[in-house]
Amino acid sequence: MAALSRKWDPLFVLVLGSLVFSCKGDVLKTSNDRTESISATKIEESSPQAADLGDLRQSDEAESNEDRKAFTPPPPNDQFQEEMVIRPLYSGDIYASFQFRTQWDTDFLHDGKKVSHYRLFPKSLGQVLSKFSVRELHISFTQGYWRTMQWGQPFIPSPPGAELWVWFHHTVTDVDGNWKELTNVLSGIFCASLNFIDSTNTVEPSASFKPLGLGNATDHRFLRYATLPREIVCTENLTPWKKLLPCGSKAGLAVLMKSEKLFHSSFHSQAVHIRPVCKDWQCTSTAWELRQTLNVVFDLYTSGQGKKEWSLFKMFSRTLTEACPLASSSKIYVDVTDNPGGELFDLSPSSPLISTAVVLGDRRTYSVYDLTKKETFGQLRSLNLLLRWKGESDDMLRPPLHAERYVSGFGLQKGEIHTCLYNSHPYRAYPVLLLDSLPWYLRLYVHTLTVTSKTRENKPSYIHYQPSKDRLRPHLLEMLVQLPPHSVTEVTVQFERALLKWTEYTPDPNHGFYIGSSVISALVPSIVAMDTNSTRDRPLFSSFFPTKEESSYFMRVYTEPLLVNLPTPDFSMPYNVICLTCTVVAVGYGSFYNLLTRTFQVDEPSAPLAKRLANIIRRLRGVPLL
């Protein structure tokens, strides 16, 4: 501790030293000893309390770092963290996941007061939260489909296209009105077609989407969920997303986000999650947490030119030179679990910091690079992580839970949607929640709904079905299904394709209509709990009953969206008909109108003078007139 204080600026010691030392000295000590161990909860899917503890530690560090860099000290509680996880995947691809976390200490929902002071938290979002009384907001834009079988599980799953789900505060009276306005505002903020969210694709799931933040709201009247599977994500969505970051893309990890590289990848997903969290472990006061995540998977084949070699520069065409000055922590984690002896790949520069954590039910080991430390950047003053593959490991993965969906049958009248849920756990059965939201133009035959696993009927213990209304609302089907161990459970339902009105077709009707992904939420038994070796380094008395945190973890899986062709008229026919009828009507109407309105009279023209004279003479002579 003494060494620490000597290194630091005397100013810091004077101003804040006493505070830091008195409350959180142990944290600082461990980080100084370079054997930092982070808790499992700090990386992902944290329970609010635990996360909050971590936050508090971080906040102290933030103050100290920023003071050291002689920035104006922030109000004591707003804070910003950035981190990136790089995971070499089994398929040889590489997965980079950015997370930026901004915490904002304000509580406008409870007091109803207007908040006008913004520092790190983006004002545009803050105003949206307060105007529409949003409790929790989750929005994701994804281009591509996460290949669970090759890539394992993502840190934050998201369906292809855009997904938005919002919990409103329970004081809101007109939830639908707020939702409509909110989607339009968000559409503007993110330059996305979220304004296409309307009542025909919005559902209120009863069980699948629970609040992730504080408060145990259960009344799903205040929840709205919608997906736009057709939404295409590109640079124009990335730019406004980057602008929400305190440092923008000027400093810190965000400098890596060059769009031409991010979109030269196999998978791209960006998301914004806002939720209320506790500020301290007793939860006496709350704060808003804004998490911005960006997940990219780079393809080995298309960008690596066959060479199995990766570096930050190759991935992002940038190297890192500094952390975001506003960030209280700025770290890069590289997953080295599968590479304990360095036989799979080489990582350079190597980092002495190693941390282990239980992530998604698996114990992972990470090399940590702390960007707030000067020595991370080495002599070149830039960090360019280099990863050179040596071994080959490209087997298919067996993730504990994955799902696929397809439409069976042919022809344009009927079809059947098959959803296959795979439980590959060797001996544990577990329940999953399946959420399906299907547009009204697929007329579901609910009596054909079958759930079968291992060729036997599997009766769901909970079914929530809301039938669709034509042109008003979609079908909503939620089911709690028990998946037997090591099995495939198949959920099938037949449908009939509706014939739309001709103005309801999209401009490209022959492309087909998109059906959003189904959502599968489950508490999956974790791999750690299966691992018998893990009991060795733990006392025996601690390991008889599996503890909840370690035995299972929450997982959400999205199936692929579907493209369904509806019976489509030949749109050149109306064109012909319109042309023909217009011609016929023009000609026919013209002549009829002419006939009807014109009056016909026999017109007797007065004979010319010469003729009249001749007639007079003829009459006199008694000769017939002319």
Give the footprint of another protein on this chain (CB under 8 A).
143-145, 147, 149-150, 160-161, 229, 263-268, 299-303, 305-306, 394, 404, 406-412, 416, 418, 508-512, 514, 560-565, 568
Residue 343 token pair? 């036989």
For another protein, give the closer residue by CB, 496 or 531. 496
- Please report how close the Cβ of residue 514 comes to another protein at its closest, in angstroms: 7
- Coil, strand or helix: which one is 164? strand
- Find the length of the chain: 626
**For another protein, which is the closer residue by CB, 406 or 502?**
406
| Straight-line distance from the first to the last Cα atom of the chain, in angstroms, rounded to the nearest whole number | 139
Residue closer to another protein by CB (options 510, 581) is 510
Residues 294/316, Cβ–Cβ less than 8 Å: no
Cα 374 to the center of its chain, rounded Å: 34
Alpha helices (H) along 244-378: 259-262, 300-304, 312-316
Q: How far is the CB of 267 from another protein (least distance, A)?
A: 7
Nearest to another protein of 213, 516 (CB atom): 516
Distance CA 334, CA 87 (A): 6
Rounded to a whole number of angstroms, the minimum distance from the CB of residue 406 to another protein is: 5
Measured CA to CA, the distance from residue 477 to residue 318 in angstroms comes to 46
Cβ of residue 305: shortest distance to another protein, in angstroms? 8
Strands 519-525 and 552-558: antiparallel
Which has the closest alpha carbon to 138: 159, 163, 109, 121? 163
Nearer to another protein, 22 or 455 (CB): 455
Return the number of the residue (222 or 422) whose C-beta is nearest another protein.
422
Q: Which two tokens stand for residue 478?
A: 């939620």
Place of tokens 């799931």: 205
C-beta separation of 452 from 458 below 8 A: yes
d(CA 275, CA 210): 12
Biggest distance spanned by C-alpha atoms of the chain: 153
**CB of residue 243 vs another protein: minimum separation in angstroms?**
23
Q: Cβ closer to another protein: 132 or 267?
A: 267
In this structure, is the dihedral angle defined by the CA atoms of residues 67, 69, 75 and 76, taken in order, positive or negative? negative
Answer for the pair 139, 183: CB distance below 8 angstroms, yes or no.
no
Q: Report the amino acid identity of residue 178.
A: N
C-beta of 225 vs 558, nearer to another protein: 558
Nearest to another protein of 418, 443 (CB atom): 418
For another protein, the closer of residues 132 and 495 by Cβ is 495
**Is the CB of 27 or the CB of 232 nearer to another protein?**
232
Q: Which is nearer to another protein, 282 or 305 (CB)?
A: 305
Minimum distance from residue 557 beta carbon to another protein (Å): 14
Quote the least distance from Cβ 302 to another protein, whole Å: 5
Give the whole-angstrom CA distance, residue 243 versus residue 240: 5
> Shortest distance, CB of residue 269 to another protein, whole angstroms?
10
| Minimum CB distance to another protein, residue 228 (Å) | 12
Start-end of H helices in 77-205: 108-111, 123-131, 148-151, 175-190
Count CA within 13 A, CB hemisphere, residue 32.
14
Rg, the chain, Cα only: 34
**What span, in angstroms and rounded, lies between the C-alpha atoms of 441 and 96?**
39
Tell the smallest beta-carbon distance from residue 144 to another protein (Å): 4
Q: What is the 3-state secondary structure (H, E, C) of 394-451?
A: CCCCCCCEEEEEEEECCCCCEEEEEEEEEECCCCCCEEEEEEEEECCCEEEEEEEEEE
Give the DSSP letter string of 306-325: T--EEEHHHHHS--B----T
Give least dist CB 565 to another protein, A: 7
In angstroms, give the least distance from the CB of 204 to another protein: 25
